[in-house]
Structure 1
Amino acid sequence: MDRRVIDSEPLKMESLLGHLVEITGHRDHDLLDISIMSALLNMVGVAQARVLELFQSHGDLLVRPRVWITDNKVQTFDEENSSADHPCEPIVNFPCLVNCIAQHKNRMEEARLDGDHALWIPIWQNEKVSTCLEIVNDKPFSPQMLQVMEGILSVYRNYQSLLDYSERDSLTGLLNRKTFDEKFARMINSKTHEPSDCNDRRHHSDVKSQWLAVVDIDHFKRVNDKFGHLYGDEVLILVANVLRSSFRSQDRVFRFGGEEFVILLRSTTLADARMIFDRFRSNIEQHPFPQVGQITVSVGFAAITQETPVVILGHADQALYHAKESGRNRVCYYEELINDGLIDNGKKNDSFEFFFDEPSAN
């Protein structure tokens, strides 16, 4: 046997262990996705791969990439690449994936017309699939490749389940309140954040900034009182689905409890932020809610500055309160309300905890 082959085995094992340590060392879904892509690139040498998110929107199951491998590099959405051409697609565009899920298989290989071979690997969690891997190679996958991938993916699957349990709201599947601080801090420290524009509060229409919005379902108490909590829970799930489909992969959506949600909108202009939030409001207004009928939401948003999360949440909450008081089913921008003299500067609301600990106006 060639001594080079013998000597390479410890190196492969060391590399594999290193990737497994990296995968299990994260407490964040984004970093976990990047780690699994890095392991597939370095250990298996695949040509292309994607981590795909599956979610419902208007009764359709859609697919959207979160992380991918192209040109021998692991890539993800970031502020500089926020307009990348990776739109949502109906899952019916991927018949092999549909068949794999329908047959409840752990993987299914597809031979494509261009000669490539694709491996679809749904990540099953409690009989459901919200994440899937698409791995593409220019030749059939060898038994050795499949064995290595299966070992890596087993660790990924188990660890993702642990993260889902700790990071996500059990009813809606959105990120929960306790993960907010970490995600917020990462956004504050992002390389495209420009404190000079934020601190002097001049958000021109062509300047990209970060934004925080607070969303509240209008008259939600009436839904629970009239139809019961089961229908109230269904409304929350459907609103969460619309939230997923209304925002980009690089944005973050949280359920803070009850009928209240928080959105972190990454690098975009004020004009676009306003348009995006109002489009979401309109999507909710036009969405059918079985039995309940029409549902609307009110939205208050503010620029993310170097202030603390409590202060910025307080600003967005003031804008939300104004939206509620002025008719509901509308989007209000904090700094515009300040400039127009419609609300105070918000300093008295620095102790923001009341917003979440007491019921909001419905």
Structure 2
Amino acid sequence: MKPILQNLVEMTGHRDHLRLEVSVLTTLQAFSGMVQVRSLEVFMLDGEYYCRPRTWMDGRGQWLSAGTEAQSDPQRVRVADMPALHECLQAHASQAVAKLGKGRHALWLPVWMNDKVHTCLEVIQARPFSAQKIDTINSVFQVFQNYQSLLDYSERDALTGLFNRKTFDEQFARATTHDTSEPIALELPRDSAEPGAEGADKQWLAVVDIDHFKMVNDRFGHLYGDEVLILVANILRSSFRSHDRIFRFGGEEFVVLLRSTSLATAHKVFNRFRKNVEDYYFPQVGQVTVSVGFVSAENGSPVEVLGRADQALYFAKENGRNQVRYYDDLVAAGLLQTKQVSNDDVELF
């Protein structure tokens, strides 16, 4: 019991979802008789539940975390092929137990948030689960879930549910660097990029601004303005992959960290999002458009990269709006001048 309590103390010391998840998996791994403990990502594809490994331990005792897009992950499986888990998700139940074969008994613990499930902890051991062991595992799981909710509350924008400004620096560092000082070694495999494509396998940062948003508030009121923000946030979520990161910086401004793709794909993805907003009918308000400025996220500090994307954004807004502009193209065409921005010079947003 003492090692488990020590693991719980460590678990609630984390301020990061991924390391919190690794910590609860480490705690469960410490139980006797464990064969495998991992986190599964649950997602919808063609109207069906699928799942794929998200965080797991390899044969060397190193925790790995998936970085590829869930829908294209070759390890994905239909939840319908896992009858006990499928029934559990359909019933919105708290757990499922099944025998997988000789010496393999599984316990699944879905993480429900607002009646939706995106994550499920999978615990496999050699013997059937006793009622006492399930209760103990459930207690650890509840501590994990409660603490995860606290993290969500502190990291998320209250209106849209997107990441807030204070989480940006950490997420930016994770997307653009590999921090070897972390006590838990996590390998984050990247998506394969198009062979020979310019800017292949790079990270991109975009600043998004809703065009004429002040007019929406002035004409229709802040209640409909808030509805527009929520709907744009929903379009952002559906337009990008699960491992890309989306932030609301305040007001009508959003930031997107697009991970591991080529310049050509970045252009396509950002323009697809812009078109999705343009084609959407916003109740009472009608048509809404957005302007986007983006830049490579790999050259400079967060404030420098944000500054360049912000320059591209405001060029877009001053030259017709409802368009996507790439900073390097504007500089190459002589339409923007490069600026040196330091952390002491400006505070963005």
TM-score tier by shorter-chain length is 0.7 to 0.9
Deviation at 1:51, TM superposition (A): 4.4
The one-letter amino acid of 2:87's match is: C
Find the partner of 1:303 among 296, 301, 321.
Answer: 296
Contact 1:79 1:267 (8 Å CA) reproduced: no
SS in structure 2 opposite 1:273? helix
> Which protein is richer in helix relative to its size?
1
Relative to structure 1, the CA distance from residue 287 to residue 80 in structure 2 (aligned partners, 3 Å threshold; closer, same or farther) is closer
**In the alignment, structure 1 residue 238 sits paired with structure 2 residue 227:** no
**In the alignment, structure 1 residue 135 sits paired with structure 2 residue 126:** no
TM-score, length-normalised on structure 2?
A: 0.77
Alignment of 1:111-150 (within 5 A): 111=98, 119-123=107-111, 128-129=115-116, 131-135=118-122, 137=124, 141-150=129-138
SS in structure 2 opposite 1:43? coil
**In the alignment, structure 1 residue 180 sits paired with structure 2 residue 171:** no
Cα deviations by residue, 1:300-352 (Å, 9 ceiling, x for unpaired)? 11112342211111100011111112222221110111001111113379744
The one-letter amino acid of 1:220's match is: F
Relative to structure 1, the CA distance from residue 66 to residue 180 in structure 2 (aligned partners, 3 Å threshold; closer, same or farther) is farther
Aligned match of 1:325: 318
The one-letter amino acid of 1:67's match is: R
Aligned match of 2:87: 96
Aligned match of 1:279: 272
Relative to structure 1, the CA distance from residue 334 to residue 291 in structure 2 (aligned partners, 3 Å threshold; closer, same or farther) is same
Between the aligned partners of 2:206 and 2:160, the Cα distance in structure 1 is 18
Aligned match of 2:192: none
Cα deviations by residue, 1:177-207 (Å, 9 ceiling, x for unpaired)? 011112222333228xxxxxxxxxxx96153
Find the partner of 2:329 among 332, 336, 361.
Answer: 336
Contact 2:52 2:70 (8 Å CA) reproduced: no
TM-score, length-normalised on structure 1?
A: 0.75
Deviation at 1:262, TM superposition (A): 0.7
Find the partner of 1:216 among 201, 209, 219.
Answer: 209
Relative to structure 1, the CA distance from residue 285 to residue 53 in structure 2 (aligned partners, 3 Å threshold; closer, same or farther) is farther
- For structure 2, the 5+ residue unaligned runs are 180-195
Alignment of 1:156-175 (within 5 A): 156-175=144-163
Contact 1:213 1:299 (8 Å CA) reproduced: yes
Between the aligned partners of 2:339 and 2:76, the Cα distance in structure 1 is 38
Q: Which moved more, 1:249-258 or 1:66-75?
A: 66-75
- For structure 1, the 5+ residue unaligned runs are 1-12, 192-202, 357-362
Relative to structure 1, the CA distance from residue 109 to residue 216 in structure 2 (aligned partners, 3 Å threshold; closer, same or farther) is same
Cα deviations by residue, 1:259-290 (Å, 9 ceiling, x for unpaired)? 11111122222122222222222222233433
Deviation at 1:50, TM superposition (A): 2.8
Between the aligned partners of 1:313 and 1:97, the Cα distance in structure 2 is 44
Aligned match of 1:8: none
Aligned match of 2:54: 67
Deviation at 1:108, TM superposition (A): 3.4
**In the alignment, structure 1 residue 313 sits paired with structure 2 residue 300:** no
Relative to structure 1, the CA distance from residue 65 to residue 294 in structure 2 (aligned partners, 3 Å threshold; closer, same or farther) is farther
Deviation at 1:26, TM superposition (A): 1.0
Contact 1:251 1:264 (8 Å CA) reproduced: yes
Deviation at 1:80, TM superposition (A): 11
**In the alignment, structure 1 residue 108 sits paired with structure 2 residue 99:** no
SS in structure 2 opposite 1:69? strand
Cα deviations by residue, 1:223-252 (Å, 9 ceiling, x for unpaired)? 222322222222212222222222223221
CA RMSD of aligned residues (A): 3.8
Aligned match of 1:270: 263
The one-letter amino acid of 1:158's match is: N
Aligned match of 1:84: 73
Aligned match of 1:9: none
Find the partner of 1:291 among 284, 289, 296.
Answer: 284
The one-letter amino acid of 2:214's match is: K
Aligned residues: 324
Relative to structure 1, the CA distance from residue 277 to residue 80 in structure 2 (aligned partners, 3 Å threshold; closer, same or farther) is closer
Aligned match of 2:198: 205
